[in-house]
Structure 1
């Protein structure tokens, strides 16, 4: 790519930035003009926005954009002078012009959009266009905007003036006011002065392009407080990570200062002891000894003063450094946040266009445009909110005649709200339409065979609403270009799950429907409950924590083989974090069990942890992609002391509990002040076959034994040396170390020679049995005669019952 191509690309980037800001002003202004067509301030804002776009388009060499903007500007000027009225039809045309302006500055725009812009320019200049359908559309545009029909192409002399005019165009808005006539729309036509100078606020959106091309009198770029810069997301993430590390490092100074304070106190104690010695024994010392003692006391006193001064300096440095690091971290974190309005600005146009196509009158309101949202969440919000708005317009809001018959105003209300609540982001889409017909939902559920009629009749509203978010589920009889395929709410639910949020539906018949998205404030920071499990810190995101409890062990009950506690009058399944996180059996049994309640109404579980360590706001550090997805773990973070904490994936936790319950592998929590987990006899199963290994483990665990598995002889030997077992069950043919070698090593080791060993093998020959028994095995069982009771009886013969 040549330097000229790169330069043009850079200018186009600047034009797109300015076009984005100015077209927002235009879109908002046009929607406001639909309600108040003669509002002078709004007309002035729209006129100046098109004027700025025209000048910017000339600078970057986009003649089609110049003509489009000029035509729109003439329309606004005519409206200001009372020559025409900005009605709904003209607003439709002007909105189409906005689309053309955006497409004109997009080098990668689809061919149809580019052809449309070129056809518009050709129509106004009288040039021929190969895009006949688009040209017909622009005939209607020209007529609607009352643009005079140009008879011929601009003269070459006029075209030659365009570059010079482009240099002065951005400043045209600042010239003195004066009367203005509506000229033919051509890029070569000189501009006359506008009505009055633009305010600073009105000029602001257009300034980035001017700053890039006009650095100022001294050649230096301007430094305005609200100047926008483009920064790569990866760079911003690295800055945030470094800010977090600097915060951690700054807080390490405090322990060092505390240690220095202890040294200072110890020195003070030495100085005091010398003083006491001088008082008690000074008279017994000779003159030379007393002088030496006085010198020592004076030196220690001087050192104590110096140490005190240095400690005060260190304390100030520590406090200042921590404050600066915290401010740096907070500012870096804030860089990830953007106002909700950055995404919401496009929705009024979407709602207006769709409402007009459906022949419905809708008043749309956005609440909370300044609500700060994580940029990653904001970028993903566009599609789900579009689905919810279309759903409300097509499904929820009735046509005008139906609303009047129901005693409602013909104009419906549709509200999009964003706000922070209890550390979460709540996005609400609410309408005052007909609501959701539960009988229709029941009929569709039964018709699609998703549930039996008796079960559907007994379902609550929330349970029925859950069906609306299933893939392919729709209340529409026919598929239209707006709805009917059943993909909208399914996409909304998938988005919520992706960002660890939830979706709630509320509806009242005849009064309307509310969709509430409950989302985390940010994906980079998570407020978490820190819990200790087997000496390691784990973070439970508070957005998914229902409650943190301390439950007496005596309150733990067993129902149908699973432990439960009682919460708000209902039984809640109890599981151990040690089992879920692979941290081993419970190490001690206190009087109470610390429990974290996670999950929802349909799947609420209590996760028993060793202890609570408070709440923290953690900067999320994604795990290395090479690790893949770690079960029950979402990400990592750094604590204030620099220790690493793993952030728990609560959805994975709930799924893991369900799987353990189905497979009958759920371990219990020690009850009644006794550590039953330690009392259970422990068996090590060494087997390279996954199927056989899992079968043996399930059989033994159902009988109450605590089972640990190893995948081969070497793995089994290492496991045996690091823990205590009451029995070893091993196969013979295994990689790395076979069962005979393992038995031989166990019986040769003084520490483990008394551990019983059972061989379970396919080999049923007498010499194989003799080899195993000669190596020291206590029992030899063949897989050919293997059945449940045979294994369990053999284990019982060797070590007795599980509880012993």
Structure 2
């Protein structure tokens, strides 16, 4: 019963909150009064049923207030709404108590309940509330002996309130800077500050009360035309937003001491905000662009709030006016659900689809049975005709007639049941599909939720750099998987900062170059071909490719000859290497060479693709292509050797049907010309090491896979169509399965394997380097001959470094395989036999030290010689590598052909 009571309070509190906020906008909304009166009445009745007298008393007076307003005896003004919302919060607090705590809570908080009831009764009697704003207390210089803060749940809701309304304040202040007379923005900010003030007063956080109170006064003055908000006003108000964010980020245990320790800062900010109300006040001498001490990132703050609010059964606003006035209101209630629960629901939805699909073959088997039954009936009727005129006794004829009648009845029943089963199968399939779509959509969030703080960041950084920037976010409502949204926030942050610092010029530089003084920076998210595309684009100075070539050569990363031959794509890849920066000096914004490396690491982790292009003097464009979801993928189903495999669409460059007569051969390898480029061909069954079927068709189904600098056409036996698949992780006991990333279950219950494209590319290169490629249609089902010579695995996240080392080693006769990072290398060495491993140190997913340690701790692999080749040449770096178990440590900046080859020969001998 108490559980039902809690549900009742939760549901009706939502009605009360929404109705009060709407009523504050329009006091004459009778429908809202009616719904709130019924909600209060229901809570009162439910509380009386379970004996929660505190809730009965509060809800009863609230109901009387709504009835009085309905009858025209009372007009609900702002002060009434404030008190009623406080009462809603108190009911919510009571509704969250465990059954064992209700009695003790009621006893300990009887005075609070009595005060609340008295305040409501005073409103009913037409008296002024005693809880109007009193003069704010002066900051104390000594720590309070004890402060009676609300319980942890209310503080958690207070933090939600701060986060929600801080977004409104930030976005509206930035908009107001461009349109100072926006009445809508002023209204939304006034209400946001008012809501924070009320929520802070409810939980006893005086510092937030004082800051929000003065901010509210400033917005009211601007609304009345008594104050024009200038740039320095907005700077000061943004300081207030930052202070509120800091307060909301404090843990329960330190909130009291934090207020005491920071009393002077709060008082100083309050004074600065108060000064804004003086129309004759002059701006401060120094530009007020510095932010307060940094608080947690949005992701960290969100995690903190989630952790502290998970005990609540639903996400709802704490006290007053938990709305976002500038946005459309949603009538949907919110419920916090953990990621593990959603993953389980995803699995159940997949199982439901499989079970629904199983009905079709069952119905088809019954249909075959009906056909056989019809045939049987025909045979009986033929027998009956044949027996006419024959000497058969009446008993035999009677039995035959009965058999024909029974067969007819069976056919009729079977036909009816088949019709019912067919309808049932269609309903179940539709229901399972809807369930799957709903579960998938529950993981999706609007793109703006991950980048809502970027407007503020761009404004502050551009001001600190003396630049004018027009920042635009497109595709704010584009749906993104919550896991992807969390992971891409940091990379996007780095790219935007990089564009502000490196890309966009100062107004003077832009005017001298014939550009508008204001630079443009675009962040866009769209769904495209079953993928999430994110573009970061600026119209700044672009990348000086010749200067970049010289920088690469100067750092000893490539030779002058190789640098000359690098394409634009290969050249821009260097910007995403660890510790690489085009800046000579380190600033607070960039210069350490870690920002774009984060982008590269994250893209590899999520199996995404990154393309960068730049034109000198016109700007730079970075295009990220990501899967729409990490839990589901859109895949192309292919047939290889009679088995179905899934290839993620995000990793397919293109598909095509290639006529056999267009196949060409050069140096024993087959290829086809596509858009004036040569694409090498090979058979999927040879790569996957399965028995293939002879394909005699004139048109060959081909999928083109690859990365920036290598593309291959894989010939399959047929395309089976596109599917949305729920990703099922393979059992860890299987280890790394070569060329396979995961598995999934099709609608008919058939399991299918999802191909690991990066692993497949490595397998393809193994076939090529070993000279073991078969021509299309040849060698079906044959096992490839073993590779000859000593094998070396080169592991480096820089394609340029990989190719340099590969070419040097292959020139000396070694057989070389490559891996793109430590994780890729670990997968490779577990399925291959190598005489030597050469690894970089700074790599995403798994760095070189971890990689070497894993090799040396594995009983089967520990004897494999390992060499570390790194840009870091400090003694401590060298020591770290050797302590991890490396047999040799070589600095990239100093090695040349003979140095590397000599080290290899020392370790494993000649090729």
Structure whose CA Rg is larger = 1
Structure 1 Cα separation of the partners of residues 532 and 166 of structure 2 = 28
Q: Tell me what 1:405 maps to.
A: 512
- Work out whether residues 434 and 510 of structure 1, in 8 Å CA contact, stay in contact via their aligned partners in 2: yes
- SS where residue 444 of structure 1 aligns? helix
Q: Tell me what 2:200 maps to.
A: 57
Structure 2 Cα separation of the partners of residues 68 and 272 of structure 1 = 91
Out of 470, 477, 485, the residue aligned to residue 592 of structure 2 is: 485
Distance change in 2, residues 1:360/1:116 (3 Å)? farther
Q: Tell me what 1:380 maps to.
A: 487
Q: Tell me what 1:342 maps to.
A: 449
Residues matched between the structures, number: 613
- Work out whether residues 621 and 637 of structure 1, in 8 Å CA contact, stay in contact via their aligned partners in 2: yes
Once the two structures are superposed, residues 182-205 of structure 1 have per-residue CA deviations (whole angstroms, 9 ceiling, x without a partner) of xxxxxxxxxxxxxxxxxxxxxxxx
Distance change in 2, residues 1:477/1:681 (3 Å)? closer
Out of 312, 324, 333, the residue aligned to residue 227 of structure 1 is: 333
- Work out whether residues 89 and 144 of structure 1, in 8 Å CA contact, stay in contact via their aligned partners in 2: no
Instruction: Select between 282-291 and 612-621 the one with higher mean Cα deviation.
Output: 282-291
Equivalences for 1:567-606 in 2 at 5 Å? 567-583=674-690, 586=692, 588=694, 590=696, 594-606=701-713
Q: Tell me what 1:415 maps to.
A: 522
Q: Tell me what 1:453 maps to.
A: 560
Equivalences for 1:68-467 in 2 at 5 Å? 68-108=211-251, 122=263, 129=264, 136=268, 139-144=271-276, 209-210=316-317, 225-284=331-390, 285-467=392-574
Q: Tell me what 1:197 maps to.
A: none
Structure 2 Cα separation of the partners of residues 546 and 143 of structure 1 = 61
- Work out whether residues 726 and 744 of structure 2, in 8 Å CA contact, stay in contact via their aligned partners in 1: yes
Structure 1 Cα separation of the partners of residues 180 and 267 of structure 2 = 28
- Work out whether residues 469 and 489 of structure 1, in 8 Å CA contact, stay in contact via their aligned partners in 2: yes
- SS where residue 420 of structure 1 aligns? strand
Shift of 1:451: 2.6
Shift of 1:420: 1.2
Out of 189, 204, 207, the residue aligned to residue 46 of structure 1 is: 189
Structure 2 Cα separation of the partners of residues 145 and 489 of structure 1 = 44
Instruction: Select between 384-393 and 598-607 the one with higher mean Cα deviation.
Output: 598-607
Q: Tell me what 2:753 maps to.
A: 646
- Work out whether residues 529 and 539 of structure 1, in 8 Å CA contact, stay in contact via their aligned partners in 2: yes
Structure 1 Cα separation of the partners of residues 778 and 763 of structure 2 = 27
Shift of 1:497: 1.6
Structure 1 Cα separation of the partners of residues 188 and 832 of structure 2 = 74
Equivalences for 1:21-40 in 2 at 5 Å? 21-40=164-183
Out of 502, 513, 516, the residue aligned to residue 609 of structure 2 is: 502
Shift of 1:142: 4.2
Distance change in 2, residues 1:674/1:80 (3 Å)? closer
Distance change in 2, residues 1:591/1:92 (3 Å)? same
Q: Tell me what 2:772 maps to.
A: 667
Equivalences for 1:600-619 in 2 at 5 Å? 600-619=707-726
Q: Confirm or deny that 1:657 pairs with 2:657.
A: no
- Work out whether residues 528 and 541 of structure 1, in 8 Å CA contact, stay in contact via their aligned partners in 2: yes
- Work out whether residues 353 and 429 of structure 2, in 8 Å CA contact, stay in contact via their aligned partners in 1: yes
- Work out whether residues 337 and 374 of structure 1, in 8 Å CA contact, stay in contact via their aligned partners in 2: yes
Q: Tell me what 2:54 maps to.
A: none
Structure 1 Cα separation of the partners of residues 708 and 272 of structure 2 = 57
Q: Tell me what 2:907 maps to.
A: none
5+ residue gaps in structure 2? 1-97, 106-147, 281-313, 323-328, 793-812, 816-830, 834-909
Q: Tell me what 2:633 maps to.
A: 526
Distance change in 2, residues 1:683/1:484 (3 Å)? closer
Shift of 1:582: 4.1
- Work out whether residues 388 and 488 of structure 1, in 8 Å CA contact, stay in contact via their aligned partners in 2: yes
- SS where residue 151 of structure 2 aligns? helix
- Work out whether residues 198 and 319 of structure 2, in 8 Å CA contact, stay in contact via their aligned partners in 1: no
Shift of 1:136: 5.0
- Work out whether residues 484 and 629 of structure 2, in 8 Å CA contact, stay in contact via their aligned partners in 1: yes
Distance change in 2, residues 1:591/1:322 (3 Å)? closer
Q: Tell me what 1:9 maps to.
A: 152
Shift of 1:390: 0.7
- SS where residue 426 of structure 1 aligns? strand
5+ residue gaps in structure 1? 123-128, 149-206, 216-222, 692-698, 702-708, 712-787, 789-804
Structure 2 Cα separation of the partners of residues 416 and 682 of structure 1 = 51
Instruction: Select between 561-570 and 232-241 the one with higher mean Cα deviation.
Output: 561-570
Structure 1 Cα separation of the partners of residues 744 and 167 of structure 2 = 39
Equivalences for 1:742-757 in 2 at 5 Å? none
Equivalences for 1:632-643 in 2 at 5 Å? 632-643=739-750
Distance change in 2, residues 1:464/1:610 (3 Å)? same
- Work out whether residues 149 and 204 of structure 2, in 8 Å CA contact, stay in contact via their aligned partners in 1: no
TM-score norm. by structure 1 comes to: 0.70
Shift of 1:509: 2.6
- Work out whether residues 158 and 318 of structure 2, in 8 Å CA contact, stay in contact via their aligned partners in 1: no
